[in-house]
Amino acid sequence: LRLVVLVSGSGSNLQALIDAATDPGAPFRVVAVGADRDGTLGLERAVGNGIPTFVCRVPDYTTRADWDEALARLISDAAPDLVVSAGFMKVLGPTVLARHRVINTHPALLPSFPGAHGVRDAMAHGVRVTGCTCHWVDAGVDTGAIIDQRAVRIEDDDTVETLHERIKVLERDMLVEVVRALAQHRTWQGPDGLSSGRE
């Protein structure tokens, strides 16, 4: 399974996929890494592992639709079977979603606490258990069909940072397991299946 991974930040989820892909017989590999900004650790990790990168910045385009089309084309150039949004802090547009099959990882138990501050919002609400979710990406914000989840207990002395770090440990494992299972057709292939004839 050819993966394109989209990142905005530190890329620790990306690193987990890169590492897992080095296992002999791993059924997937990361063929390109894309970002919406320059100079991130995620891009550095890709370069350090000899993986081609591209950057597609919203402010470089006149309209959001132009950005969406440019991003869809850059992704297509790498001919992926699956796109993984791993800490990519932009909502993907209709062109990317029409042409590519995309999964996302989110640091909360969806459908609770969608959006950019899932960890903070869960703490602020006072829930005792939160976690992470891997889901198909649709036109909404963190609304697509759920593939897998992991639960994490919130401790009394947690800060947003300590809690997010514990979530990310499970998030990385979950993401690798989901991608492996999708590559081996062992888990749910999404509402329209992996061989749905998309470009």
Q: Which residues are catalytic?
A: 106
Q: How far is the CB of 146 from ligand GRF (least distance, A)?
A: 14
CA angle 25, 19, 184 (to 5 degrees): 40
Shortest reach from residue 42's CB to ligand GRF, in Å: 6
Q: Provide the sign of the torsion angle of the four alpha carbons 32, 86, 58, 65, taken in this order.
A: positive
Q: Is 168 in the site for ligand GRF (CB under 6 A)?
A: yes
**Strands 82-85 and 2-7, bridge-based pairing:** parallel
Question: What distance in Å separates the CA atoms of residue 14 and residue 88, rounded to the nearest whole number?
Answer: 11
Residues 107-146 that bind ligand GRF (CB under 6 A): 107
Contact 154, 123 (CB under 8 A): yes
Element (H, E) at 99: helix 94-99
- The yes or no reply on residue 106 touching ligand GRF (CB under 6 A) is yes
Q: How far is the CB of 115 from ligand GRF (least distance, A)?
A: 10
Residue 44 and residue 18 in contact, taking contact as beta carbons nearer than 8 Å: no
Write the binding mask 9 to 48 for ligand GRF: x where contact by CB under 6 A, - elsewhere.
xxxxxx---------------------------x------
How many residues bind ligand GRF (CB under 6 A)? The answer is 15
Residues annotated within the binding site for (6R)-10-formyltetrahydrofolate are 64, 104
Residues that bind ligand GRF (CB under 6 A): 7, 9-14, 42, 86-87, 105-107, 168, 171
